[in-house]
Amino acid sequence: MTEALEASRQKDSAPADAEISSPPLAPGEAPLCFVVDEDSSTRHFLSLILHGSGVDAMEFADGASMRKAVDQQNPRLIFLDVPLESADAIESVIALGKHAFPGNVQLMSSRGAAVLEHVKAVGTQHKLKMLPILKKPFETDTILKIIHELKLGTPEAVATRIDLDEALSKNWIEFWYQPKIDLRKKQLAGAEAFARARHPEHGIVLPSAFMPGASEPVLQRLSELAITSALKASSSFAKLGVNLRISVNVPVEVLEKLPVADLLKAHPQTDKWPGLILDVKEEQIITDLALATTVAKNLESCNVRLAIDRAGRGCSSLAKLKELPFAEIKLDREFVAECGSDKINAPICKAAIDLAHNGGRVAVAVGVEKAADAGALMSMRCDYGQGYLFGQPMPAERFASLLRQRAANQGAVITDQ
């Protein structure tokens, strides 16, 4: 959370329950938020975070269009930008007050505190639930904290331990998808699948709770389920007019045994299907490079390619290959973090990116959370990025909802690889 937001929360005099309460939702209903900002990049950024948190979002370029929509919709939260000319924002809070809007209003701006406090005071006078002012620029964690305080969206994953074999047998495992963004074009370029367990008592459980200690046969079952789920998701996204190449993580010990061709036959794709990517950790590839190379060549006929995951430390070994039999090199999040300023991480990222480009391959930065790091990666000519800055993993239906919204807004182009 930014210092400005923390300070404003401490100074705010509104009752605590006004800041964390939200109108009740009907069973199965996803909460809705409005995002009002003339800057399309800010709108898209907030929408990605909201969708990834289990919250629907509608984007508006100005207050006038939002004021028309609020009569037909029932948003729980409105992110309202206060631009250089604050009259539109003031008109919006007055209109919301007359409408007796029951949700919360989150002002956001890079303007001075005096103007923002004035707009907030107008909202308070009209009996709106005005949250503490959000100063731009802000990070993803700041928005996530607001969503969690208001008890909107998907509950946070719990810390527990469960058995993967049991989770698979009882159909607790599902796969969530994280957007992969073309850094130069600012376009959606793909997605990566992440396993989650939906436990009947604990709720959503992360892989750290069920992956450690899993046997090879169980990991193979998980990998087959991941590929099957990715193929189903591809078909679902294709029906929306979006053809995305999806990445799936696969342990090297089960790579050779995966019946990829049989899985593809059971779930055939359209002629426009861009293919599938199997991510294998760098240290596992280096340990058995011959196996990885053989499997990579065998899978090409199925339109399935390998990617080097968590790359960074072994670039010198991989650079000795005359030809890289991989589609992507994915930079380890450990090196992506602070790559814009860290004197160790930055050259490691640059070396991995150059290695990918020298082999005619794509470089992907994983775990991008800060705008400064994204800017540094762009200057290094990194191709794609994924991480909380661009959107967190979300269930397939939430990802599809995001695609539908993008198509409706026509604000973000979706590319076919």
The pLDDT tens digits for 212-267 are 999 999 999 999 999 999 999 999 999 998 999 999 999 988 988 999 999 999 99
- More reliable by pLDDT, 255 or 409: 255
* pLDDT computed for residue 111 by the predictor: 83
How high does pLDDT run on average in the chain?
87
The pLDDT value given to residue 158: 67
CA pair distance 356, 354, nearest whole angstrom: 5
166: confidence class by pLDDT, cuts 50, 70, 90:
very high
At residue 353 the predicted structure's pLDDT band, cuts being 50, 70 and 90, is very high
Q: Is residue 103 part of a domain?
A: yes
Confidence of residue 153 (pLDDT cuts 50, 70, 90): confident
- Decide if pLDDT at 289 tops 90: no
pLDDT tens digits along 191-204: 999 999 999 988 88
Q: What is the predicted pLDDT for the residue at 34?
A: 96
Q: Do 77 and 134 share a domain, yes or no?
A: yes
In the predicted model, is pLDDT for residue 2 greater than 60? no
Q: With 60 as the cut, is the pLDDT of residue 279 above it?
A: yes
Is the domain of 361 the same as that of 282?
yes
Pairing label, strands 362-366, 187-199 = unpaired
Looking at residue 97, its pLDDT comes to 95
Distance of CA 373 to the CA centre of its chain: 16
Last residue of a domain, one of 149, 179, 204: 149
Residue 323 domain flag:
yes
pLDDT at 370 (0 to 100):
87
85-94 pLDDT, tens digit each: 889 999 999 9
- Provide the number of structural domains found in the chain: 2
Say what the pLDDT of residue 294 is. 87
Of the three residues 117, 149, 181, the one that is the final residue of a domain is 149
Q: Greater confidence, 303 or 6?
A: 303
156 inside domain: no
Give the separation between CA 200 and CA 212, rounded to whole angstroms: 21
% the chain with pLDDT above 70 = 88
Q: Which residues constitute the domain of residue 87?
A: 3-149
CATH code for the domain of 86: 3.40.50.2300
Q: Is the pLDDT of residue 5 over 50?
A: no
The pLDDT value recorded for residue 15 is 37
Share of the chain above pLDDT 90, in %: 59
Both 172 and 145 in one domain: the answer is no
Do 346 and 375 belong together in one domain?
yes
For the cut 80, the answer to whether the pLDDT of residue 415 exceeds it is no
Higher-confidence position of 313 and 260: 260
Q: Do 232 and 128 share a domain, yes or no?
A: no
The per-residue pLDDT for 410 is 52
Q: What is the pLDDT of residue 253?
A: 85
Q: Examine the domain organization and report whether 144 and 239 are in the same domain.
A: no
Residues 257 and 145 in one domain: no
Query: Could you tell me if 333 and 367 are in contact, meaning their C-beta atoms sit under 8 angstroms apart?
Result: yes
Pair (234, 372) in one structural domain: yes
Q: What is the CATH number of the domain that holds 403?
A: 3.20.20.450
Same domain assignment for residues 70 and 174: no
Give a yes or no: residue 158 inside a domain: no
Which residue, of 149, 182, 202, is where some domain finishes? 149
Domain assignment present for 112: yes
**DSSP assigned state of 241:** T
Q: 3-state DSSP call for residue 11?
A: helix
Rounded to an integer, the average pLDDT of 54-66 is 92
Residues 87 and 174 in one domain: no
Tell whether 393 is covered by a domain.
Answer: yes
- The letter for the amino acid at 237 is F
- The answer to whether residue 154 sits within a structural domain is no
Please classify residue 173 by burial: count the beta carbons closer than 10 Å to its beta carbon, then call 0-12 exposed, 13-18 middle and 19+ buried: buried
* Same domain for 354 and 307: yes
At residue 113's C-alpha, the angle toward residues 108 and 119, to 5°, is 60
Who's near 381: CB < 8 A, 6+ residues apart? 353, 357, 363
As a whole number, mean pLDDT of residues 21-46 equals 78
- Neighbouring C-alpha atoms within 13 Å toward the C-beta of 229: 24
Check residue 321 and give its pLDDT: 66
What pLDDT does 71 receive? Answer: 81
Average pLDDT, integer, range 95-112: 93
Residue 189 sits in the same domain as residue 104 = no
pLDDT score of 322 more than 90: no
Structural domain includes residue 266: yes
Mind giving me the DSSP string for 125-149? HTT-EEPPPEESS--HHHHHHHHHH
